[in-house]
C-alpha cells in the first residue's frame, strides 16, 4: 500500500510540473501576441498620419501579412532579450559567490541564444515561377542554376531544334523560419518538373489556301509533308508509268513561328490526317514538362522594391496561340499515268437454220472464243480516282471466233388443250401479290424442296425451255385459245421445245435459279402473252396455305 501511494504522489507532482510549464508557455505566447499587436497598431497609426492608404489587393494583403510576421519576430526577440537581460542581472548578482561557475553558465547561455535566435533572424528568398510559389532558397543563384540544368536536359531529351519555355521568375526577400526548408539546386529542379510547364519550339505552320492545316517541327518537315502528299498517289504498278509530277490544286504555304510543342505533329500524322487515317503518337519522354503552366503574374503585381525579378520569357507576340484547325482543308492531288493493259474482244454469233428442228428451238453448233487486244491509255486521276481516260493505241493480239447457233424452222405441232388448269406443284404458297412480275396478283409462288416435280397445268406444246431473264431456267407451254403457262426458277428440264405434253405430265423439277431467294416455282397463266389474275383460276389460293399438285 505504501508503494502504490508513493507512486501516485510522484505522478501527481509530475502532472503539476507539466501544467505549470504549459501555463508559462501560454503566458509567454500571450505576452508576445500583445506586444506584436501594439506595435502593429502604432505602425498603422503612423502610416495614417503620413496619408499612406493600405493596399487591399491580393498582393498588398500578402505584404501586410509578411510585415505582421516580421513584427512578431521582432517582438519575440525583444521579449527574450528582456528575459535574458533579467537572467543575466540575476546571474551577475549571484556571480559574486562563485565567479567561475557564473562565467561558464553565462557563456553557455550566450552560445545557446546564438544558436536559438540567429537562424530565425536570417533571410532568404521565396521563389515564384510563372506566378506559382516554388519554395525558398538562400540566394537567387541557386534557382538560376536549376533553370540552366533544365535547359541542358531539354536539349538532350528533344532533338527538335531550339526549345523555349515561358518562365517568369520572381524572388521575394523573406525571413527563414527553418534551415531544413531551404532548397538546393536539385530540389529546385525537381519542384519545377513537378509543377510542369509548356515547351515551345521554333516550328512551321502549314496553310492550304490560307487555312491552317497543321504545325510541324521545322521547315524541312513542312517540305517533307508536301512531298509525302504528292507521293500518296504517285506509286505505279508494272504496267503503269507516271507522266510528270503529281500536282496539288491548292496553294500550300509555310510560316515559321514559335509553337507549343504539344501542337507539333509528325510528318506521318499530318499526311494521315489529310487522308482520314490515324497514326499512333509516341509517348512523351517527360509528361510533366508538357503540362500547362500557370498564368504568370502581371507586371504591376510584380513591381515592389522588396522584390527582385528576372524574366526569361520569350516574345509572346511570336507565340502561336490558336489551336489547330478542327476541320482539315480539302487537298486535291492530280496525277497522270500511262497504262498498258489487255481487254477481251467479244465474239459475234452466226445463225444457221435447221428445218428438222421446231421453231423456237436452238442449239450451239460451235462455241465462240473471245479475242484479246492491248490498250495503251493516258489516265488522269484526282485523289486516286480516275476522272478521264484517253486511248492512245490499240493493238489486236488475238482475233475472236464467232459462235455458231442453229435455230429450228419447222412449224410447231397444233395445240390441243383440255380447257382447264390444275396446280402444277405441291408446296406452300409463299407469295401472290408483290412488286415485280407478280404485280397485284398475276402469279403465284409455291415453295418446296429443290427437285420437287413440276407438272403441266394443261395439255399443249412446249415453246420455250431455256434460261429466260430473271426467271432462270424456264418453260413456257402454249395452249388452245391463246393461253400459255409459265414455269420459272426450275432446276432441270424434262421436256424440250416442240414437245407435246399432256395435262399432269412431268415437265421439270423445282429449283432456285434466276432472281430467287429460295427453292420455289413461279407459275403464271397468260392470254395472248398478257398476264391474268391467278386467283381467277384458283380462288382458294392464300399465302401460307398448303397446296397439292394437280389440285
pLDDT in tens, 20-54: 677 766 677 777 777 777 777 777 777 777 777 77
The C-alpha cell that represents 345 in the structure block: 474482244
Supply the pLDDT for residue 8.
44
Supply the pLDDT for residue 508.
96
393-394-397-402 Cα dihedral, nearest 10 degrees: 180
Supply the pLDDT for residue 74.
78
* Count of beta carbons in the 10 Å neighbourhood of residue 343: 12
Residue 441 and residue 524: Cα distance in Å, rounded?
A: 10
Contact call for residues 228 and 218 (beta carbons, < 8 A): no
Across residues 392-410, what is the average pLDDT? 90
* Count of beta carbons in the 10 Å neighbourhood of residue 231: 12
Looking at the chain, the whole-number percentage of residues with pLDDT higher than 70 is 77
Supply the pLDDT for residue 238.
87
Q: Mind giving me the DSSP string for 156-189?
A: HH--SS-EEE--EEEEEEEE-S-GGGB--HHHHH
Across residues 487-491, what is the average pLDDT? 96
**Candidate from 149-158, 350-359, 471-480, 487-496 with smallest mean pLDDT:** 149-158
**Candidate from 130-134, 498-502, 519-523 with smallest mean pLDDT:** 130-134
Most confident of 112-121, 357-366, 510-519: 510-519
Supply the pLDDT for residue 425.
96
State how far the alpha carbon of 232 is from the alpha carbons of 248, 333, 434, 468, in Å.
12, 9, 50, 48
Q: Where residue 451 falls among pLDDT bands split at 50, 70, 90?
A: very high
Across residues 263-287, what is the average pLDDT? 66
- Phi and psi dihedrals of 289, rounded to 5? -65, -30
Decide: pTM greater than 0.85: no
Class of domain 414-547: mainly beta
| Residues of each domain in the chain carrying CATH 2.20.230.10 | 333-409
Contact call for residues 75 and 28 (beta carbons, < 8 A): no
Q: Where residue 66 falls among pLDDT bands split at 50, 70, 90?
A: confident
The fold of the 333-409 domain, in CATH, is Resuscitation-promoting factor rpfb fold (2.20.230)
Question: Over the stretch 292-330, which tens digit does the pLDDT of each residue have?
Answer: 332 333 233 333 333 333 333 334 344 444 444 445 667
DSSP conformation class of 321: -
pLDDT of 496 higher than 70: yes
In the numeric block, the cell 532558397 is attached to 137
| Residues of each domain in the chain carrying CATH 2.70.70.10 | 414-547
**Summary mean pLDDT of the chain:** 78
- Phi and psi dihedrals of 74, rounded to 5? -65, -40
Q: Where residue 544 falls among pLDDT bands split at 50, 70, 90?
A: very high
Query: Which residues have C-beta within 8 Å of that of residue 340, sequence separation ≥ 6?
Result: 239, 240, 374, 375, 376
Top pLDDT among 162 and 515 is at 515
The C-alpha cell that represents 499 in the structure block: 414437245
* Count of beta carbons in the 10 Å neighbourhood of residue 445: 22
3-state DSSP call for residue 10? Answer: helix
pLDDT of 449 higher than 60: yes
Angle (CA) 196 197 201, round 5°: 140
Question: Over the stretch 159-209, which tens digit does the pLDDT of each residue have?
Answer: 555 666 666 778 887 776 665 578 888 888 888 777 776 677 778 888 988
Q: How far is CA 544 from the centre of its chain?
A: 52
Most confident of 144-158, 262-276, 534-548: 534-548
pLDDT of 354 higher than 90: no
Supply the pLDDT for residue 504.
93
- Give the strands of the sheet with 362-366, arranged side by side: 349-358, 403-410, 362-366
3-state helix, strand, coil in the chain (%, to 5): 35, 35, 35
Q: Where residue 416 falls among pLDDT bands split at 50, 70, 90?
A: confident
Helix extents (H) in 205-255: 219-231
Residue 482 and residue 498: Cα distance in Å, rounded?
A: 17
Amino acid at each position: 500500500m505504501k508503494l502504490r501511494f508513493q507512486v501516485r504522489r510522484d505522478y501527481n507532482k509530475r502532472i503539476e510540473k507539466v501544467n505549470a510549464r504549459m501555463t508559462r508557455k501560454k503566458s509567454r505566447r500571450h505576452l508576445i501576441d500583445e506586444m506584436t499587436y501594439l506595435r502593429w497598431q502604432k505602425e498603422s497609426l503612423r502610416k495614417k498620419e503620413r496619408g499612406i492608404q493600405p493596399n487591399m489587393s491580393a498582393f498588398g494583403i500578402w505584404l501586410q501579412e509578411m510585415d505582421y510576421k516580421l513584427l512578431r519576430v521582432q517582438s519575440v526577440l525583444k521579449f527574450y532579450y528582456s528575459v535574458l537581460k533579467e537572467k543575466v542581472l540575476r546571474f551577475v548578482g549571484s556571480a559574486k559567490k562563485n565567479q567561475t561557475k557564473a562565467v561558464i553558465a553565462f557563456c553557455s547561455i550566450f552560445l545557446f541564444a546564438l544558436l536559438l535566435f540567429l537562424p530565425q533572424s536570417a533571410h532568404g528568398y521565396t521563389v515564384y515561377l510563372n506566378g506559382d510559389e516554388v519554395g525558398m532558397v538562400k540566394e537567387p543563384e541557386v534557382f538560376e542554376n536549376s533553370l540552366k540544368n533544365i535547359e541542358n536536359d531539354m536539349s538532350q531529351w528533344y532533338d527538335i531544334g531550339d526549345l523555349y519555355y515561358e518562365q517568369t521568375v520572381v524572388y521575394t526577400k523573406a525571413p527563414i523560419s527553418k534551415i531544413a526548408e531551404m532548397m538546393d539546386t536539385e530540389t529546385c529542379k525537381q519542384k519545377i518538373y513537378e509543377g510542369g510547364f509548356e515547351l515551345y519550339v521554333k516550328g512551321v505552320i502549314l496553310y492550304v489556301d490560307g487555312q491552317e492545316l497543321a504545325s510541324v517541327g521545322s521547315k524541312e518537315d513542312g517540305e517533307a509533308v508536301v512531298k509525302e502528299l504528292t507521293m500518296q498517289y504517285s506509286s505505279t504498278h508494272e504496267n503503269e508509268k507516271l507522266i510528270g509530277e503529281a500536282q496539288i490544286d491548292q496553294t500550300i504555304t509555310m510560316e515559321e513561328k514559335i509553337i507549343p510543342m504539344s501542337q507539333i505533329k509528325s510528318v506521318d500524322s499530318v499526311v494521315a490526317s489529310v487522308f482520314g487515317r490515324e497514326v499512333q503518337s509516341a509517348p512523351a519522354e517527360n509528361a510533366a514538362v508538357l503540362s500547362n503552366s500557370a498564368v504568370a503574374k502581371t507586371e504591376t503585381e510584380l513591381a515592389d522594391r522588396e522584390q527582385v525579378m528576372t524574366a526569361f520569357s520569350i516574345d509572346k507576340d511570336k507565340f502561336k496561340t490558336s489551336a489547330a484547325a478542327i476541320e482539315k482543308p480539302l487537298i486535291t492531288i492530280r496525277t497522270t499515268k500511262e497504262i498498258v493493259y489487255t481487254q477481251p474482244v467479244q465474239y459475234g454469233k452466226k445463225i444457221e437454220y435447221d428445218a428438222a428442228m421446231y421453231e423456237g428451238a436452238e442449239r450451239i453448233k460451235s462455241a465462240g472464243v473471245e479475242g484479246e487486244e492491248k490498250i495503251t491509255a493516258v489516265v488522269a486521276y484526282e485523289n486516286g480516282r480516275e476522272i478521264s481516260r484517253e486511248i492512245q493505241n490499240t493493238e489486236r493480239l488475238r482475233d475472236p471466233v464467232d459462235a455458231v447457233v442453229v435455230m429450228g424452222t419447222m412449224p410447231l405441232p397444233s395445240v390441243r388443250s383440255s380447257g382447264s388448269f390444275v396446280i402444277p406443284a405441291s408446296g406452300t404458297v409463299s407469295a401472290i401479290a408483290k412488286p415485280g412480275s407478280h404485280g397485284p396478283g398475276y402469279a403465284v409462288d409455291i415453295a418446296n424442296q429443290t427437285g420437287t416435280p413440276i407438272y403441266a397445268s394443261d395439255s399443249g406444246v412446249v415453246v420455250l425451255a431455256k434460261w429466260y431473264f430473271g426467271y432462270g431456267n424456264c418453260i413456257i407451254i402454249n395452249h388452245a385459245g391463246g393461253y400459255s403457262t409459265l414455269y420459272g426458277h426450275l432446276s432441270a428440264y424434262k421436256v424440250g421445245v416442240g414437245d407435246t405434253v399432256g395435262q399432269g405430265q412431268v415437265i421439270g423439277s423445282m429449283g432456285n435459279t434466276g432472281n430467287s431467294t429460295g427453292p420455289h416455282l413461279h407459275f403464271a397463266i397468260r392470254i395472248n402473252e398478257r398476264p391474268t389474275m391467278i386467283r381467277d383460276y384458283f380462288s382458294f389460293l392464300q399465302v401460307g396455305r398448303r397446296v397439292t399438285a394437280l389440285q
